Structures are given as C-alpha cells and as structure tokens.
Amino acid sequence: MENPVIIFGANHLGRQSKEIFEANGNVVYGFLDDNKKLHGSVIDNVTVLGSTDDDGLLKFIGKKCEAFVSVDDNKLRKSIVSMLQEVRHAQPVNVIAKSSIIPNSVDIGHGNFIDQGIAFGAGATIGNHCLLHAGAIIGMEVKLGDFVQVGAGSIINAGVEVEDEVFIGSGVTIVGSVTIGRGARIGAGSVVIGSVKAGETVFGNPAEKVKS
C-alpha cells in the first residue's frame, strides 16, 4: 500500500489498526471520528482530524489516501463503507497483522481487520469488512460472509459456513460443517454443535437458543 491511510474511528479498534498498519510499514495520516470532543486531539502520535463525514478530508480518499473503517457497530460500519464506495468510489483496505498465518489458498475480500495471531486453514474464504480478533482460528474451507465479527480466541472448525452479519463472541467453539445463519449471535464461551438459524441468539455449552 503506497498511499497513507485514514482510519475511521479513534477507538480501541482504531488504535490497534494503527499499530498494525505501522508495523507493516504503512503511514497513518490521521483518524476521523464523530465524537467532537476528540477532534484535534492526538492519540498514539496520530491526530483526530475531524468527523467521518468531513467533505474537506474525504476528498483525499481514493486519490491521495486509503481508508479503513475501524467501527465495530455494524450499522454504522455499513453506512461508512457505503459512503466510501458510492461517494468516493473507494474500497476500504485490509489491515492484516504480520503474525497472522494465511495460506496461499485463502481468499480474503476488502476492508477486513485481521488481528494478531489469527490462523487460517487451507481454502478458507473471508468476505468483506469482517472483524477477526486476536488468536481466532478459522479452519479449513470455512466460509465467512460480509460484516462478520469473530471474537478473540474463537475456533471455527473446518467446513463451517458463517453468513453475513454474524457476531461470534470471544472463546467460542463451532464444530465442523455447520451453518450459522445471517445475523445470528453466539455468546462468549459457547460451544456450537449444530446449525444456527438466521437471526437467532445462542449461548452455552452446548449452545442453545436464548429466549427473548
């Protein structure tokens, strides 16, 4: 990546993204964040330049700067991604920690956050704008959709299909060859031994549907 990057979100995720970018030899131009109290402040030697909709700053995206969206709220994340694609005609870049293990057969989309120590199995497919936190294991031929979040230390075994917008908490284990439906949520520490329907929330060992 030749151009410097602007990070959308001056939060814990943004700070970690900045560390990974710089460890990879990339320059972080600045943060954008909608919390006006942060504007002009310096976080880890990088300035919070303004809001995520600042036209004066957004004009650099796609020409002189790359963009990464470090927001873990999916609704806001999707909104910023759409703006970058439709208004700036720019695709957010990936941030990938050097310590991650990625075989050549793995297919990775755009705008993904891949934290320290993540291991991918052969033939895994990662969609776009996913957040994969430290130490997660994404097994052989696993398929992750778009806007999926996988918590730290979670293990997704071979052949699992995770549809769009699924949230998987920290320390979750998902057995092989099941499907996690779109928008499902899996509570931290759960052990998933069967498929989960779209929109369901499950928790426990073995994981069971949480009654609303």
Residues 32-74: tens digit of each pLDDT: 999 999 999 999 999 999 999 999 999 999 889 999 999 999 9
Decide: residue 64, CB within 10 A, 0-12 exposed, 13-18 middle, 19+ buried: exposed
Residues 82 and 102 in one domain: no
Write out the two tokens for 197.
């329907």
CB within 8 Å of 194: residues ≥ 6 apart: 178, 206
User: What is the identity of the amino acid at 67?
Assistant: A
* Residue 148 confidence (pLDDT): 98
1 has a pLDDT exceeding 80 = no
The C-alpha atoms of residue 187 and residue 172 are separated, in whole angstroms, by 8
* 129 touches 148 (CB < 8 A): no
Residues 29 and 109 in one domain: no
Burial 117-151 (b: 16+ CB within 10 A, else e): bbbbbebbbbbbbbbbbbbbbbbbbbbbbbbbbbb
What domain range is 67 assigned to?
5-86
CB within 8 Å of 199: residues ≥ 6 apart: 181, 182, 183, 184
Question: What are 77-120's pLDDT values in tens digits?
Answer: 999 999 999 999 999 999 999 999 999 999 999 999 999 999 99
Distance linking the first and last C-alpha atoms of the chain = 46
Question: What are 188-200's pLDDT values in tens digits?
Answer: 999 999 999 999 9
Residues 69 and 111 in one domain: no
Residues 199 and 104 in one domain: yes
Q: Sorting pLDDT into bands at 50, 70 and 90, what band is 169?
A: very high
Q: Sorting pLDDT into bands at 50, 70 and 90, what band is 211?
A: confident
Domain-terminating residue out of 60, 86, 112: 86
Average pLDDT for the chain: 96
* 123 touches 102 (CB < 8 A): no
Domain at 22, CATH number:
3.40.50.20
**192 is a domain residue:** yes
Domain-terminating residue out of 69, 86, 103: 86
Give the count of domains, the chain. Answer: 2
